[in-house]
Amino acid sequence: MKQNSGRFTLLLAMACMLGISNAQAGLVANIGPITDLRVEGTYAFVGMAQTTGTCGKRYWLDMNSPSGRSAYATAMMAFSSELNVYIRAEDAGTRIFSECGLYDIFISK
């Protein structure tokens, strides 16, 4: 029973976030496991199992900003724990190596 309530909570959270992402132009959503992490200079890249729109499978973070480092730490924890994540990325924003910028990341157990 507890596992089903956890799934319900996850679905409810995702539904709320999808509503938010649809209200904000230029954001796309992706959900699933993180497949790879990489740091190149001042940018970090988070790879996902599936593609979304024109963003592909990888999303970039600015490692010079506190929010970028925090999001990367969250991604590392999810990757090492093999947890699914829900991310939103800026489809219309600046691209680094043709990748979309990661807007936010959400983990639910």
- Which of 3-12, 53-62, 83-92, 100-109 has the weakest average pLDDT? 3-12
- Which of 2-6, 40-44, 81-85 has the weakest average pLDDT? 2-6
- The parent domain of residue 37 ranges over 2-107
Cα(26)–Cα(51) distance, integer angstroms:
16
> Is residue 41 predicted with pLDDT exceeding 80?
yes
Q: Tens digit of pLDDT for each residue in 54-98?
A: 888 999 999 999 999 999 999 999 999 999 999 999 988 889 888
Cα(18)–Cα(38) distance, integer angstroms:
27
> Is residue 108 predicted with pLDDT exceeding 60?
yes
Structure tokens at 14: 């995702």
For position 85, which CATH number holds? 2.40.50
* pLDDT value, residue 22: 45
* pLDDT value, residue 25: 60
Shortest CA distance to 84 belongs to which of 8, 31, 12?
31
Task: Over range 49-53, report the average pLDDT.
Answer: 86
* pLDDT value, residue 93: 85
Domain count, the chain: 1
* pLDDT value, residue 26: 83
